[in-house]
Structure 1
């Protein structure tokens, strides 16, 4: 499974209609939807689809046609997300009608193409590499821990120091973070 960590935009014109697609990290879904409604007040439709992993690692998905004929826009957009095995993302497609009706088949093709185009522009990230883990360490373990971080190429998300300990949040491959935890445990226990 894959995800994204930044917003990507692509524009497509078909028979004078303009389709602007936005691939957005899911945690920005509500705020970005509100932003698009304000930014594109004259748009005829703002279609969306999303997929995310809930706390039980189940994929939750939803979509809307936003006034387009049933299953001609949201469902094709969702199918692009499924086909690319994307999670924790949403695609919004803003449509400005150009005066020429596309028909149901034309709409399905246009929304599919617009969604596929924005996904193809994105830098996809393996979801396993986005795993985060918190470590609470005594100061005497810090040098060894920092060595493990360097050799395993993981990212420090947050670091908080207290009187006796340091709390460090790492992001990286799930398996690697679990191996770091095991190395710390084995060395100091």
Structure 2
């Protein structure tokens, strides 16, 4: 899977219609589409598609044709995102109608081309699926445990509850194996998985 960490933009013109495409991290999607609608009040369509992982590591997808004939814009855009195996991204295409109707096939090609253009103009990053692990540990053992996490550059946050430190750790598959080995060797200290 691949993702991005910033917004990318391209423009293509097809039969006097202008297609402005924006590829953004999903976290920026709502703000960006609202901003684009304000910045482009004369545009006739704001087509979008997105793919995002939810808290259960399931891919959630959505799309909108925004007034274009059904299936001619949102679905082709989503299919391009799927083809590049992009995740946690949204793609918005703003269309300015140029007076020439493109027809159903022409719209599918135009929106697919617009989506491909912005993706090809983007810097794609490798996406690594991370598992969330939550553990509770006695405060007296926290320093040793934190030292291990920092040594391996594990991404974690901590809270405190009932004289225990609650650690929320994000691990990829390899990191999870190292973490499990460390936990076994951490005995006799008590580590409680939540």
TM-score using structure 2 length: 0.75
Query: Displacement, 1:119?
Result: 2.1
Map 1:15-30 to 2 at 5 A: 15-30=15-30
Measure the CA separation in 2 of the matches of 1:87 and 1:124. Answer: 10
Higher percent of residues as helix = 1
Say whether the 8 Å CA contact 2:18–2:97 is kept in structure 1. Answer: yes
Residue 186 of structure 2 aligns to a residue in which SS?
A: helix
Unaligned runs of 5+ in 1: none
Report the equivalent of 1:10: 10
Q: Does 1:48 align with 2:38?
A: no
Q: Does 1:123 align with 2:124?
A: yes
Say whether the 8 Å CA contact 1:132–1:174 is kept in structure 2. Answer: no
Query: Displacement, 1:25?
Result: 2.3
Map 1:106-185 to 2 at 5 A: 106-120=106-120, 121-128=122-129, 130-133=130-133, 138=139, 140-142=141-143, 145-151=146-152, 153-155=153-155, 158=157, 171=170, 173-177=172-176, 179-180=178-179, 182-185=181-184
Query: Displacement, 1:139?
Result: 6.2
The total of aligned residue pairs comes to 186
Query: Displacement, 1:45?
Result: 0.6
Q: Does 1:62 align with 2:91?
A: no
**168 and 10 in structure 1: CA distance in 2 versus 1, 3 angstrom threshold:** farther
Measure the CA separation in 1 of the matches of 2:104 and 2:27. Answer: 31
TM-score using structure 1 length: 0.76
Unaligned runs of 5+ in 2: 189-194
Query: Displacement, 1:160?
Result: 6.6
Residue 78 of structure 1 aligns to a residue in which SS?
A: helix
Query: Displacement, 1:53?
Result: 2.7
Say whether the 8 Å CA contact 1:18–1:95 is kept in structure 2. Answer: yes
1:149-187 deviation digits (Å, cap 9, x = unpaired): 444x5456x56789x776665555244145325414522
1:122-152 deviation digits (Å, cap 9, x = unpaired): 3233231x5555566646553564455444x
Say whether the 8 Å CA contact 1:160–1:168 is kept in structure 2. Answer: yes
RMSD: 3.0
